[in-house]
Amino acid sequence: MPPRYILKVDNVSNTYYETVGFKKVAKPVLESVSFDMLKGQIIGLVGESGSGKSTLAKCILGVIDYTGTITLDTKNPQMVFQDSTSSLNPSMTVERILEEPLIIRGGMTKGERMKKVEEALDAVGLSMEYAKSKPGELSGGQRQRVCIAAAVISEPELVILDEPVSALDVTIQAQILELLAKLRKKYNLSYLFISHDLNVVYQLCDYVLVMRRGKVVEQGYIDKVYNHPEHEYTKALLEASELIIKSGEN
């Protein structure tokens, strides 16, 4: 059976226009980005701030315009953001936040929706005791678990995670990464995992794209890129990572 590509990005570019004096000047954000994602794959997208990572995610989700071609062989891709506080409606309970997409989709009774809410909470390691809580009553790690539950409750095949652990302390980071790995297996998910932290990407991802100034300067399977980087920018990024130095010495 041939491999199934859940996402294909071909020669995608994005430009915004900045007013300088009386003229509008084109500022490229993405330049000819191309890559493919297999079903079940976890691709890490790394690069410094302003390299175009989040813009690429928005293009894939159809939030902003682009040139080139993006082919999604799946419906209902979901996104988990870095800031769980702004991602969750502070006036809603956790139960209502998770129920909302099910209400919009329709076709389920209240009892069926509540069962799905309980299943989603259980999947991210939270009990129904948290269902009546509001986001402000939860810790940062708990809020991010709710954000992940809100993504998986819609039964997507592709989840885009934009710096989902960077606002958390190291211990909670490890717990969330372990949770994401577990959910990948449980639901056969594909992840596009955006991060500036190469150590985090190494722990979770099997393939990596390195972005600089809107371009993918290097891509490949994680061990190859991390232990045998070809581009000078990739080498510079890896120099700051103690984990990768150790990995390369083994």
Q: Are residues 100 and 124 in the same domain?
A: yes
Cα 224 to Cα 1, 44, 184, 209, 215: the distances in Å are 26, 14, 23, 12, 20
Tell me, yes or no, whether 72 and 93 share the same domain. Answer: no
**Same domain membership, residue 73 and residue 91:** no
Structural domain harbouring 147: 86-155
205 and 91 within one domain: no
Residue 136 and residue 238 in one domain: no
Nearest in space to 213 (alpha carbons), one of 53, 61, 64: 53
- Please report, for the domain that includes residue 239, its CATH number: 3.40.50.300
Domain boundary among 124, 139, 155: 155
What pLDDT was estimated at residue 103?
A: 95
pLDDT at 174: 92
Residue range 3-23, pLDDT digits in tens: 899 999 999 999 988 888 888
Q: Number of structural domains, the chain?
A: 2
In a shared domain, residues 70 and 171: yes
Please provide the DSSP assignment of 92-113 as one string: S-HHHHHHHHHHHH----HHHH
216 and 250, same structural domain?
A: yes
Is residue 130 within 8 A of residue 121, CB to CB? The reply is yes
The reported pLDDT for the residue numbered 83 is 86
Same domain, 169 and 53: yes
In the chain (250 residues long), the average pLDDT of successive 10-residue segments reads 91 90 87 96 93 94 95 94 90 96 93 96 96 95 96 96 90 94 95 93 95 96 94 91 51
* Identity at 89, one-letter amino acid code: N
Residue that is last in its domain, among 130, 155, 180: 155
Residue 127 and residue 146 in one domain:
yes
Confidence (pLDDT) at 242 = 63
The number of C-alpha atoms within 13 Å of 19 and in the hemisphere containing its C-beta is 2
User: With contact defined as beta carbons under 8 Å apart, do 66 and 72 qualify?
Assistant: no
Residue 89 tokens, joined: 């409606």
* Boundary-marking domain end, from 136, 155, 174: 155
Q: Are residues 44 and 95 in the same domain?
A: no
* Cβ 208 vs Cβ 220: under 8 Å: yes
Spell out the residues 6+ positions from residue 55 whose beta carbon is closer than 8 angstroms to its own. Answer: 14, 29, 30, 64, 214
If asked whether residues 169 and 101 sit together in one domain, one would say no
Domain check: are 102 and 226 in the same one? no
